[in-house]
Amino acid sequence: MLVSDFDYNLPEDLIAQEPLADRAASRMLVLDRGAGSWGHRRFADLPEYLRPGDCFVLNDTRVLPARLVTRRPTGGRTELLLLRPLEGPDERRLRRESGPPACHLWEALARPAKRLRVGTELDFGGRLTATVLEQGEEGLVQVRLDCDGELLEALEEVGLTPLPPYIRRPHQEEDTAHEQVDRQRYQTVYAETPGAVAAPTAGLHFTSEMLSVLEAQGVAVARLTLHVGLGTFRPVTVERVAEHRMHGEYYWVGEAAAALINQRRAVGGRVLAVGTTVTRTLETVADEQGRVHAGEGWSEIFLYPGYRFRAVDMLLTNFHLPRSTLLMLVSAFAGRELVLAAYAAAVEERYRFYSYGDCMLIL
Give the pLDDT score at 92: 41
pTM of the model: 0.91
**Which run of H or E residues covers position 57?**
strand 55-59
- Tell me the C-alpha distance between 258 and 96, whole Å: 16
State whether residue 272 is helix, strand or coil. Answer: strand
How many structural domains are present in the chain?
A: 2
Q: Are residues 229 and 298 in the same domain?
A: yes
What Rg value do the Cα atoms of the chain yield, rounded?
20
Q: Are residues 52 and 120 in the same domain?
A: no
Give the pLDDT score at 72: 79
Q: Are residues 198 and 307 in the same domain?
A: yes
CATH number of 193's domain = 3.40.1780.10
Give the pLDDT score at 48: 97
Q: Decide if 171 is inside a domain.
A: no
Q: Are residues 116 and 140 in the same domain?
A: yes
Q: Are residues 122 and 212 in the same domain?
A: no
Q: Decide if 178 is inside a domain.
A: no
Q: Which of 107, 141, 159 is the last residue of a domain?
A: 159
Q: Are residues 44 and 104 in the same domain?
A: no
Q: Are residues 293 and 308 in the same domain?
A: yes
Q: What is the mean pLDDT of each run of 10 residues along the chain (363 residues)?
A: 96 96 96 97 98 97 93 83 71 46 79 86 88 88 88 90 88 79 96 93 97 97 92 82 90 97 97 98 97 95 97 98 96 98 98 97 98
Give the pLDDT score at 142: 93
Q: Decide if 168 is inside a domain.
A: no
**E strands of 230-363, at which residues?**
249-253, 271-274, 295-299, 314-318, 359-362
Q: Decide if 180 is inside a domain.
A: no
Do the Cβ atoms of 343 and 318 come closer than 8 Å?
A: no
Q: Which of 108, 143, 159 is the last residue of a domain?
A: 159
Give the pLDDT score at 285: 98
Give the pLDDT score at 220: 97
Residue type, 270: R
**Containing structural domain, residue 137:** 66-159
Q: Decide if 337 is inside a domain.
A: yes
Q: Which of 159, 176, 203 is the last residue of a domain?
A: 159
Q: Decide if 265 is inside a domain.
A: yes
Q: Are residues 111 and 213 in the same domain?
A: no
Q: Are residues 261 and 350 in the same domain?
A: yes
Write phi, then psi, for 341 (nearest 5 degrees): -65, -40
Sign of CA dihedral 233, 236, 242, 248: negative
Q: Are residues 218 and 88 in the same domain?
A: no
Q: Decide if 167 is inside a domain.
A: no
Q: Are residues 79 and 57 in the same domain?
A: no
State the distance between the two ends of the chain, measured CA to CA, in whole angstroms: 25
Q: Decide if 164 is inside a domain.
A: no
- Tell me the C-alpha distance between 85 and 298, whole Å: 13
- Tell me the C-alpha distance between 87 and 148, whole Å: 20
Q: Are residues 48 and 75 in the same domain?
A: no
